[in-house]
Amino acid sequence: MSERSESKHAAALAALGPHTTGVGCLYIKDLEKVDLDALRPILQDVVSWTESGGDEYAQITVLN
C-alpha cells in the first residue's frame, strides 16, 4: 500500500488481523483470520479511488 493509503487506513489496518503490506499492496494470506468489518472500508475506498482514475499505477489484482 502507498504511504498515503497506509496512514489514511492506519486504524483499520491495525484492526485488520494478520496481513503484510508492500509497495502498493495489501497481502492477506488467510481471509478467515481477517476482520472483514475492518477490511470492507479499505476496499471500498481503494475501489472508489481506482474507478475515479487513481494514478498510473492504479490496479486491483485478486489472486486465488
Rounded to two decimals, what is the model's pTM? 0.74
Instruction: Note the pLDDT of residue 2.
Output: 66
Q: Is residue 60 part of a domain?
A: no
User: Contact at 8 Å (CB) between 34 and 28?
Assistant: yes
Number of domains the chain contains: 1
Q: Is residue 64 part of a domain?
A: no
Distance of alpha carbon 16 from the chain centroid: 10
Q: Which domain holds residue 25?
A: 3-51
Q: Is residue 25 part of a domain?
A: yes
The helix (H) or strand (E) run that includes residue 13 is: helix 10-16
Q: Is residue 57 part of a domain?
A: no
Instruction: Note the pLDDT of residue 40.
Output: 94
Torsion angle in degrees (nearest 10) through CA of 11, 16, 19, 20: -10
Report which of 9, 7, 2 is spatially closest to residue 43, judged by C-alpha positions.
9
Report residues of the chain scoring pLDDT below 70.
1-3, 58-59, 62, 64
